[in-house]
Structure 1
Amino acid sequence: MNIFIKAVKPENAPKALGPYSPATKLGDFVYLSGQIPLDPETGEVVGTTIEEQTHQVMKNIGAVLADMGLGYKHIMKTTIYIADLNDFDKLNEVYGSYLEEPYPARSCVQVARLPKDVKVEIECFVIDTLVYEQQYAAQQSGCSSCGGGCDGGCC
C-alpha cells in the first residue's frame, strides 16, 4: 500500500470495469483512467453515434474531476482512442465544446477494438492547481500577510 497515492472513486461516475481506479492522485498529479460512454447509474453504454458517445465520455470525465473539486481546465494531456478515424472531425467538435484555450496536449489513435465495443475512450493527465489558484487569488486581493488562509479575509 502506498500512502502517498489516493484512489479516486467518485459516486457520479461509472464504476471501474476491472481492477483499476477511475483516477489516482499523487500530490498535484492526477491520472484519469480511460473513460468510455457508460451511464454512471446503469453501467450501460450511452448512444450509438460518435457524438453521443463523446458527450457521455466528457460528462464522465467531468464527474471524476468534480469529485476532486477540479474542472476541464485542469486537464493537461489527453489520449483519445477512437474506433474509426473517419469520425475524427465529429469527435473534435464535441470534445472541443467542453474545453477552453489553452487546450490540453493530446494524442488520438485509431484502435481495433474498445471495451464494450464503444466508439471512443479518453484518458487524461490532470494537474490539481487548486492550492496555487487560492494563493494567487489571495495575492491579488491584497491579503499577502496570511496567504489567504483566513476564510477569504485578511487576518
Structure 2
Amino acid sequence: MTSIIRRIITSIKAPKPAAPYNQAIVVDNFVFLSGVLGMDKDTMKLVEGGIRAETRQALKNIGYILEAAGSSYENVIKNTVMLNDIKDYGTVNDIYKEFFKKDFPARSCYQVGKLPLGANIEIEVIAVAGNAKTIQLKL
C-alpha cells in the first residue's frame, strides 16, 4: 500500500487556531484551509470595523496560510464563504475582487446561524500547491 503524506501547515503570520484544528493540511498537491476569520494574530481578536475590515483581514490571513503551504490566491480552486448576514454579500464581493483578480475559483456563499467569536464572516479554502496552469473551457 502506498503511503500518503499529510502535511500540517502553520503560518506564524496568521492567527493560531482557537480550537483543536490546524490552519491547513496538504495532501498530495491539495491544500485544505480550515475556516478563517478576520482576526488579528497578535491580539487573537476580531479586527474592528465590521464586515469590511473582517473580510479584508480574513483574506490576508488566507494569503499567509496559502504561502506557507506553497500555494497562492491564483491556485485556489474552491472557497466557501459563510456570512453572519447575507446582506453583506455585495460588500464581501467588492473586497474579494481585491484578492482574486481573474480566473475566479468556484465558490459557495451563504448566511449561517452564528459564527465563532461573533464574527461577520468565515472563509474556507481548497487550493493546489505548486505550479498550476489554468485553462478555460467554453463548450
Task: Percent identity, please.
Answer: 33
CA distance in 1, matches of 2:38, 2:78: 19
1:106 aligned partner: 107
Spell out, residue by residue over 1:9-34, the C-alpha distance to the aligned partner (whole angstroms, 9 max, x if none). 11111101111110000010010000
After the TM superposition, which segments of 4 or more aligned residues of structure 1 sit over 2 Å from their partners? none
Larger RCO (CA within 8 A; separation ≥ 6): 2
Give the alignment's TM-score, normalised by structure 2.
0.89
Shift of 1:44: 1.1
1:26 aligned partner: 27
Unpaired stretches in structure 2, ≥5 consecutive residues: 134-139
CA distance in 2, matches of 1:125, 1:91: 19
CA distance in 1, matches of 2:48, 2:57: 8
CA distance in 2, matches of 1:18, 1:68: 20
The answer to whether the aligner puts 1:17 opposite 2:6 as a matched pair is no
Give the alignment's Cα RMSD to 1 decimal: 1.5
Unpaired stretches in structure 1, ≥5 consecutive residues: 134-155
Shift of 1:49: 1.7
What SS class does the counterpart of residue 64 from structure 1 fall into?
A: helix
CA distance in 1, matches of 2:72, 2:128: 10
1:83 aligned partner: 84
Spell out, residue by residue over 1:80-133, the C-alpha distance to the aligned partner (whole angstroms, 9 max, x if none). 000001111001100111112110000001001000001000000001133x67
